[in-house]
Structure 1
Amino acid sequence: MPKVLLLGYGDIAQRTAPLLVKAGWEVIGACRTPATKTAVEGVELVSADANSEHDLRRLLAHQFDAIVITLTPSNYSRDGYHQGYVVPCRHLQHLMHQLDTPPRILYISSTGVYGQRDGEWLDETSPTVPDTDSGAMLLQAELVILGSPAKVSVLRCSGIYGPGRDRLKQQIQNGSAVISPAWTNRIHSDDVAGFIAYLLLHPKHHQEIYIVSDNEPLLQEDAYARIAQQLGVSIDGLKRTNEVGPRGSKRLSNARMRATGYQLLHPHL
C-alpha cells in the first residue's frame, strides 16, 4: 500500500485525503492542531509543525512514497510568508538529502509568482516577476524545494474558490466589491485536490511546474457578473476603477495540466 504524507491539513489536504484513501493509499495528515480537524476514515492525523526541523525529521523517520505540501503564512507580512513557506522548504530540502530514497513531492504554490499586469497569456515557461512580498516569498520557497534531490512538482494554483471561500461572494452581495479592468483566473478547490490525487495515481506524468487553473480566464467584470447571477443580485451598483489591483492582470494557460489527461470538474466559473 503506497503511503502519503499530507504536510499541512487545511481545506485542500482535507479534500485530497479521501480521494487517496479510496484509491488504496495509506494517508497521514500532519498539522499543528489535529484535534480541531474533522476525522476522515482511513486518515491518521498527527501533530507536527512544518517550521520545526525536529518535527519534520520525526515524520520522515517513516518511509513515504509521496509528500503533498500545503502551507499557509503565519501572517500576511513578508516575514509571515517567509516563515510559513520558505523556512519549512529549507528544512525539507535539508532532510531530503539525508534520505536514501526521497519521496515524490507535490508542492502547492500560487500563480502569485507571476506579477504581469497587462493581460498577457502566460504558461509555465513565462518569466516569474512577482511584484508583491507574498509572491517573492512563494517563488523563493519554490526554488528551495525544487533544489532538493526529490522528484518535485510545483502546482501553481490560480484564485481558489469553492465551499468556505465566500469573501468575494459576500463583497458582491453587500456591494463593497470594486470592478477593475484586470483579467482573472480561477480554480475550484475540488479540482486542486483532484489534480493532486491524479498526479499521484498517474506517476508517469511529471513536470517541475504546473499551472492549475480552469479553462477560461475572465475579465473581472465578467467573473463578478457570473457570481452575481448565481447569487441573484446585480453588479450595476458596484464601484469601478481603472487601476489594476495588486494581483495583476494575466491570462493563464492550463494546457500542460490538461495534457496529463486530467478532466476538470469545474472547467469554468
Structure 2
Amino acid sequence: MKKNILFIGYGDLGSRLASIGQDDLVITGISRSLKPTIIPDQYHSLDWFKNSAQKVNLLKNYDCLVITLTPTSFDEAGYEKGYEEGMKLISNLVKNTSFKKSLLISSTRVYKDSEEPITELSNVNSEDFRAKSLLESEAIYSKGINSLQKTIFRFSGLYDPEMKDKILYKQVDEFQNKLIPISANLNRLSRDQAARIIMNFCINKTDLLLLNVSEPTVLAQERFKMLFPEKNFDDFFRIDNPGKQLDISNLLKSKLLDG
C-alpha cells in the first residue's frame, strides 16, 4: 500500500523523490516558489510568509511529513526568516494534521569545523548565525509538529551528479593566476542519493532521531590528485580551513542507503 506523504518545501528534492517514488508514495507538495519540474500527486503553491492564513486542503493524517527550508536571503535576517519564522508558520499550517513520522532536512553547517570526526553529538557552532537559525528551526520543529516520531537529517552540501567536481575543473580549466581558498575536507551529497534516502525513510521503519547524512569525507588534495595526476594542487588552491570530517557510521548501519 502506498504511503501518503506531505512534502513542505517541495522543489528539487521533492521532484526527485516523486520521480523515483511513483510506485510507493502518494505525495502532496507545498511550495513557496514556482511550479517544480515534476508535479506531485497533489500540489499547492503557498507563500507561508505572505499568505499564512490561506487554507490548504490537507488530510487529517499522513504517513510521513518531510520539511525542507531555505533562507530568504543569505544574511542573518534571511536565515532567521527562512528557518525560524518559516518553521513557526509551517508548524501552524499543519497544527490540525497528525503524522506517523516526520523528517526535517537540516544541515551539517550546525557543527564547528574540526580535524576530528564529527558525530551527531559533536559540539555545534553557536557563534555562527547560520548555525543558530538552523538549530532554532530544529528546536521549533521538535516542539511544534504533531508526529509520533520526529527525525532530523543533517545533510552535507548537495550537488547535482553531473556537477560533482565543478569547482576543481573550473579552476583548472579557467585558471586566472589566482589561488582559490578551499576546505581541507570535502563533504558532499548527491541530490539523487538524498532523494533515495528520503524515500527509504518514508517507506521503512526506523528509530533514528538525528542523523548526519553525507557521502564519505574526501580530502581536497587527494581528490585533485585523482582528477589531475600531472598537476600540482598548490598551484591552483590554498587550504584556508579544516572543514568537517563527518562520522557517518550511523548512516552506514541504517537501511537508508538501500536501493
Asked whether the two chains share a fold, i.e. TM above 0.5, the reply is yes
* Residue in 1 that maps onto 2:86: 88
Instruction: Give, in whole Å, the separation in 1 of the partners of 2:52 and 2:59.
Output: 12
Aligned counterparts, 1:242-261, within 5 A: 243-244=240-241, 249-261=243-255
Relative to structure 1, the CA distance from residue 79 to residue 165 in structure 2 (aligned partners, 3 Å threshold; closer, same or farther) is farther
Q: Pick from 160, 163, 169: which aligns with 1:162?
A: 160
Work out whether residues 33 and 47 of structure 2, in 8 Å CA contact, stay in contact via their aligned partners in 1: no
AA matched with 1:153? T
* Residue in 2 that maps onto 1:213: 214
Give deviations 1:229-266, integer Å, cap 9, x for gaps.
49x9874530424x31xxx522111111122223378x
CA RMSD, 1 decimal = 2.9
Relative to structure 1, the CA distance from residue 257 to residue 63 in structure 2 (aligned partners, 3 Å threshold; closer, same or farther) is same
Secondary structure at the residue paired with 2:130? Answer: helix
Relative to structure 1, the CA distance from residue 174 to residue 44 in structure 2 (aligned partners, 3 Å threshold; closer, same or farther) is farther
Relative to structure 1, the CA distance from residue 173 to residue 16 in structure 2 (aligned partners, 3 Å threshold; closer, same or farther) is farther
Relative to structure 1, the CA distance from residue 26 to residue 180 in structure 2 (aligned partners, 3 Å threshold; closer, same or farther) is closer
Cα deviation for residue 34 of structure 1 reads 4.0
AA matched with 1:111? T
**TM-score, structure 1 normalization:** 0.80
Q: Pick from 182, 187, 190: which aligns with 1:188?
A: 190
| 2:147 maps to 1:146 | no
Work out whether residues 154 and 211 of structure 2, in 8 Å CA contact, stay in contact via their aligned partners in 1: yes
Instruction: Give, in whole Å, the separation in 1 of the partners of 2:84 and 2:62.
Output: 22
* Residue in 2 that maps onto 1:106: 103
Work out whether residues 122 and 252 of structure 1, in 8 Å CA contact, stay in contact via their aligned partners in 2: yes
* Residue in 1 that maps onto 2:256: 262
Relative to structure 1, the CA distance from residue 139 to residue 16 in structure 2 (aligned partners, 3 Å threshold; closer, same or farther) is same
Cα deviation for residue 217 of structure 1 reads 1.3
* Residue in 2 that maps onto 1:8: 9
Instruction: Give, in whole Å, the separation in 2 of the partners of 1:181 and 1:260.
Output: 28
Relative to structure 1, the CA distance from residue 4 to residue 171 in structure 2 (aligned partners, 3 Å threshold; closer, same or farther) is farther
Cα deviation for residue 128 of structure 1 reads 1.6
Q: Pick from 119, 126, 134: which aligns with 1:123?
A: 119
Relative to structure 1, the CA distance from residue 75 to residue 59 in structure 2 (aligned partners, 3 Å threshold; closer, same or farther) is farther
AA matched with 1:189? R
Q: Pick from 234, 237, 247: which aligns with 2:235?
A: 237
> Is there any run of 5+ residues in structure 1 with no aligned partner, and where?
none
State which drifts further: 163-172 or 9-18.
163-172
Instruction: Give, in whole Å, the separation in 1 of the partners of 2:37 and 2:183.
Output: 40
Secondary structure at the residue paired with 1:261? Answer: coil
Instruction: Give, in whole Å, the separation in 2 of the partners of 1:171 and 1:106.
Output: 37
> Is there any run of 5+ residues in structure 2 with no aligned partner, and where?
none
AA matched with 2:192? D
AA matched with 1:104? K
| 2:17 maps to 1:19 | no
Relative to structure 1, the CA distance from residue 105 to residue 262 in structure 2 (aligned partners, 3 Å threshold; closer, same or farther) is closer
Secondary structure at the residue paired with 2:131? Answer: helix
Instruction: Give, in whole Å, the separation in 1 of the partners of 2:17 and 2:231.
Output: 33
Work out whether residues 179 and 221 of structure 1, in 8 Å CA contact, stay in contact via their aligned partners in 2: no
